[in-house]
């Protein structure tokens, strides 16, 4: 992985997808316990961001997958960004509505929030992270 701002993303000079962002799978070849899905870099409110999800493992229940999502995101962010921070929703510019912040992390270039989304008519219950440029 190239030395960039966070997970290979280059907030300052990287490309931004304007429509139909693609999702790419990333994992550590030395530790394949978790696989992550990252969207292309997008922009909202003049701020670049990506969405990070835990890839679904086969043969596990929906309840197990929900726990796996939360655990995987916490593992990833602690590994690459260190300890949790005390950021709030007002510190972010790209968080979707109708989600709850579970934990936040940051470094010199990036803010990240793990979000919990309850099930509704349009979405299943899930955990995912939004990483945005500072």
CB neighbour list of residue 59: distance below 8 Å, 6 or more residues apart: none
Rounded Cα distance between 41 and 130, Å, is 11
Is 49 within the bounds of a domain? yes
Higher-confidence position of 96 and 22: 96
Q: Quote the CA–CA distance of 121 and 101 in Å, as a whole number.
A: 21
- Identify the domain containing residue 28 by its residue range: 23-133
Closest residue by Cα to residue 8 from 36, 43, 44: 36
Q: Is residue 7 part of a domain?
A: no
Residue 14 forms part of a structural domain:
no
Q: pLDDT per residue over 58-114, tens digit each?
A: 788 999 999 999 999 999 999 889 999 999 999 999 999 889 999 999 999 999 999
Q: What is d(CA 132, CA 134) in angstroms, rounded to the nearest whole number? A: 7
Is residue 82 assigned to a domain?
Answer: yes
Q: Which two tokens stand for residue 85?
A: 């921070």
What is the structure's pLDDT at 115? 98
Size of the chain, expressed as the number of residues it contains: 134
- Tell me, yes or no, whether 10 lies in a domain: no
Q: Is residue 11 part of a domain?
A: no
Q: What region does 46 belong to: left with phi over 0, alpha with psi -120 to 50, or beta?
A: left
Question: Do the domain assignments include residue 76?
Answer: yes
Any domain includes 15: no
The total number of structural domains that make up the chain: 1
In the chain, what's the furthest Cα-to-Cα distance? 40
């Amino acid at each position: 992985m190239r030395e960039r701002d966070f997970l290979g993303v280059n907030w300052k000079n990287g490309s931004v997808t304007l429509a139909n962002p693609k999702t790419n799978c990333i994992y550590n070849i030395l530790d394949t316990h978790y696989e992550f899905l990252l969207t292309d870099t997008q922009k909202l409110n003049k701020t670049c961001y990506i969405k990070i999800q835990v890839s679904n493992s086969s043969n596990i229940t929906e309840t197990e997958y929900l726990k796996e999502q939360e655990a995987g995101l916490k593992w990833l962010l602690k590994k690459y960004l260190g300890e949790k921070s005390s950021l709030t929703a007002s510190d972010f510019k790209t968080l979707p509505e109708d989600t709850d912040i579970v934990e936040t992390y940051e470094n010199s270039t990036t803010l990240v929030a793990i979000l919990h989304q309850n099930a509704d008519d349009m979405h299943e219950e899930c955990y995912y992270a939004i990483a945005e440029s500072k």
